[in-house]
Structure 1
């Protein structure tokens, strides 16, 4: 039997309202869980710059949260290295900040310290963000208390090519940065440059690491990301270098 237009319209409206309510309810239920999962993943990436991935993989979510809470402090600074009152590192979306003019951005700093002892700093962790071949890339770089030597790095991507640029997430690639230095002998910020090609030994060069075959553009993106973000943090880094030098006198 052919239905009237009024019936069809009424049925469509009711169906739309019901589906909308169902989607809204699902979003409210799953929303907090999704936020918790995102926060947990960020904590793992931050910790990955200072402890091994195997250690993190062996932890339960509760253990990750507990370890993070007892070993990580944080602050937020501006381009001049000054702390921003009232800002929290967890409240800064680095990806959204990336779209703002540099002078308007907020820059989180994570401080890795001895368990339960904020004053006993072991390293400083700096978020990174940039562009790869196809989409965004990001990561976290840890510097020792000399504010020069790299303790570790984690790198991630939104859509780099599997087996090529996506290799930036591999521990073997990330470990190449350990022990490298971001300042040269003249005190200039040079960061660390991933080289084109793969298979060469750069152990004698403190500012270069081996590249990834077939992923030059992604490697260049990582290079640009490092020099840019270390430049944004340079004032803060140098202020910490100065305070460390004074404390050692």
Structure 2
């Protein structure tokens, strides 16, 4: 029997409302799970700058959480290197700072998280300072973490991630062999000026003798340039903070 137009329209509206409520309810139920998964992934990326990826892969989620809590402390600073504990009357933590959202602001208006990797069993002794970085690749945003040794100059390790770089080309910034090229490189020159570390055009050359150069990505020059710009910019944004930490280290060494 053919239904009237009013019946069809009413049925469609009711079905749309019911499905919408079901989808909305499902999204609300899944939101805490998604946030927990995102937080775990962020911890993996932070730790990946100072711990081997093989070691992290062997850990269960609860082990990663426990390791992070026992070895990482954090703070937030501004571009002047001053610590920030609240903004607009709201408490601020490094874990709560959305680096991607901050990237849309002017550098002087951003918040800059700092993650400090401590020696096992000694929260007063730092082993590395881990700094988030963010930028633009070929197709979308790229980001990562740079760990500096306690000299605040030598790179302990890096992790890079991307939203949409080309598989097998720009997406290789996430591979261990590419990230390992940055280990041991220097971000400041002998005069204390920011020199950063830059991927070179092409691939297959040996830059082991140059403290500020690493091999590039064949077929992914624009992504490599994006990584270079990202590192240059964010290491510059953290420069005042690093200088303050270094100054404090020198003062303590004299006492």
Please give the range of the TM-score, normalised by the shorter of the 2 chains: over 0.9
SS in 2 for 1:120: strand
User: 2:136 maps to which residue?
Assistant: 131
User: 1:75 maps to which residue?
Assistant: 75
User: 2:66 maps to which residue?
Assistant: 66
SS in 2 for 1:200: coil
**Residues in 1 aligned to 2:21 and 2:196: alpha-carbon distance in whole angstroms:** 51
**Residues in 1 aligned to 2:92 and 2:243: alpha-carbon distance in whole angstroms:** 21
Q: Give the deviation of 1:116 after TM superposition.
A: 4.2
User: 2:88 maps to which residue?
Assistant: none
Q: Which runs of 5+ in 2 are unaligned?
A: 86-90
State whether residues 146 and 244 of structure 1, in contact with CA within 8 Å, keep that contact through their aligned partners in structure 2.
no
Q: Would you say 1:245 and 2:250 are equivalent positions? A: yes
Q: Give the deviation of 1:243 after TM superposition.
A: 1.0
RMSD across aligned C-alpha pairs, in angstroms? 0.9
State whether residues 95 and 129 of structure 1, in contact with CA within 8 Å, keep that contact through their aligned partners in structure 2.
yes
User: 2:17 maps to which residue?
Assistant: 17
User: 2:202 maps to which residue?
Assistant: 197
**Residues in 2 aligned to 1:230 and 1:156: alpha-carbon distance in whole angstroms:** 17
User: 1:211 maps to which residue?
Assistant: 216
Q: Would you say 1:222 and 2:198 are equivalent positions? A: no
Give the number of aligned pairs.
Answer: 249
Deviation string for 1:160-217 (max 9, x for gaps)?
1111111101100000000000000111101001101111111111011011111111
**Residues in 2 aligned to 1:187 and 1:193: alpha-carbon distance in whole angstroms:** 17
Q: Which runs of 5+ in 1 are unaligned?
A: none
User: 1:166 maps to which residue?
Assistant: 171
**Residues in 2 aligned to 1:18 and 1:142: alpha-carbon distance in whole angstroms:** 50
Q: TM-score, normalised by structure 2?
A: 0.96
User: 2:102 maps to which residue?
Assistant: 97
**Residues in 2 aligned to 1:148 and 1:183: alpha-carbon distance in whole angstroms:** 6
State whether residues 123 and 144 of structure 1, in contact with CA within 8 Å, keep that contact through their aligned partners in structure 2.
yes
**Residues in 1 aligned to 2:188 and 2:11: alpha-carbon distance in whole angstroms:** 68
SS in 2 for 1:248: helix
**1:233 corresponds to which of 235, 238, 247:** 238
**Residues in 1 aligned to 2:75 and 2:47: alpha-carbon distance in whole angstroms:** 16
